[in-house]
Structure formats: structure tokens, C-alpha cells
Amino acid sequence: MARRVPRTNRPEDPTRNVSVTALRQNGGEWIETIRAVYRDTAQREATSREIADHLAWILEQNESRTDPDTIRKHVTGALASIVTSVRTVAVIVLDDGGQPVDGVNVSLSDRQNTHTGTTNRDGYVAFDGVSSPLPTPQLLLSKPGYAAWSHGVTALPDTNYDIVVGRGLLPPFTKIHDDTATVSGADATSFESDSMREPGRAWLADWCLADDDWSESH
């Protein structure tokens, strides 16, 4: 009788195999610790990608290094290493006809400073030395004869970047006769695409976005 050879299944991600149980048991506590450090140190909420990165670090440690104090020290150190990095952020302002608007007063607030400037005839103004990462900065636009404009901007890529008002998710800068009108964004807009996630940790980011019910359903 021929010997039966067990069927070989395609191996699963070993990191995920080891990690799911730990996440079910401790994920809620870990995430709250990470969020608390971001609120206290960076005065903002941690993004799902940032939480995933820190969880990945935690899961690589042995059990003696997953206590809250060690996690807080790690997250605080990670924030300190990136908060001083800077970049150039350009703002391009278009009206509802897609034309550039000059003479617009632009204000962009990052974690440490408020950057102000005025657009040129191409509707363009650039700010050097913008702290990275941005918390939940407000982008403000104003010009006589135009509706006051404000919108939240979050999770810009950690590189030089152009913000284009009047394209994509950002509404245009609209000319009006009533200077009291306002155009505002109810929610902050993220320009960080899923493609920026590190592939090996994408499942962690998705896991972080799940409902905060740490039951066996996760």
C-alpha cells in the first residue's frame, strides 16, 4: 500500500500566525498606549499606518519588552526622531473655473509653526521648513471678493508635496460678492495613499481600522 503523503499547503505569513493571538489578547491596551503618547507628545491622533508600524515593532519584541512603559519609551523616541524633519509644501490655488488665483493670503499650520504667504500670478506659494509629520493642520485662504476658505489637511507624504486647492478632494476658491460667505471642509483630507503602506504590514493597518471590539471576531 502506497504511503499517503500529506498535502502541503502554501505557507502563511509566519508573522501573522504568531501575531494574531497576541493582538487579540493585548492589542487594545497596546493601541491605547500608542494613542496616548501621540496625544501627549505630538498633540494629535496617531494614524492607522503609524499604529501599525508601532504594533509591528511590539510584535517583534519578546514578552519582557511589551510592557506599557517600554512601549511608551519606544513611541516617544520614534516621534522625537521624525518631528524635526522638514520639507517644502507648496499650495496652488484654483478657482471654480480651474484658473489660478493670485494675491491669496495662505496660512498653513504645522506642529510647531504657522506658515503664511501670498500666491503669485500662477496661484502658487511655497513654504520651506514645514515640520513632518503634520498633526491636523488647517489650511486657510482669504482674499477680498472671495469666500473665506478653510480645510483640514492630514497625513501628507513625508516628502516635498504640492497641495492643489480646487482639484480632487479640496473645493475651489470661489469668487463672490458677499465677503461673509465661507467655504470650509468638515473633515480633514488625507493625501497618504494605501500604496504608501509597507506591503508586509498592510494587514496590520487594516486590522487597526477594524472596530475596537477585541473579541474573538477579530
Q: Which residues contact 132 (CB under 8 A, 6 or more apart)?
A: 82, 83, 85, 86, 87, 110, 156, 158
Non-local (6+) Cβ contacts of 82 within 8 A are: 132, 133, 158
CB 209 within 8 A of CB 48: yes
Put residue 103 in one of left, alpha, beta given phi > 0 → left and psi -120 to 50 → alpha.
Answer: left
Residue 40 DSSP class: I
Burial of 37 (0-12, 13-18, 19+ CB in 10 A): buried
Residue 110 has a pLDDT of: 79
Q: What is the pLDDT of residue 144?
A: 94
Q: For residue 211, what pLDDT is reported?
A: 45
Q: Express each pLDDT in 94-147 by its tens digit.
A: 999 999 999 999 999 876 788 999 999 999 999 988 876 555 568 999 999 999
Question: The domain 86-192: what is its CATH number?
Answer: 2.60.40.10
Amino acid identity at 148: A
CB atoms within 10 A of CB 101: 23
Collapsing DSSP states into helix, strand and coil, what is residue 217?
Answer: coil
Pair 107, 143: CB distance under 8 Å = no
pLDDT digit string, tens, across residues 35-85: 998 888 777 788 888 888 888 888 888 665 678 888 888 888 887 766 556
| Ranges in the chain annotated CATH 2.60.40.10 | 86-192
> What percentage of the chain carries pLDDT values higher than 70?
63
Query: What average pLDDT does the structure give for the chain?
Result: 75
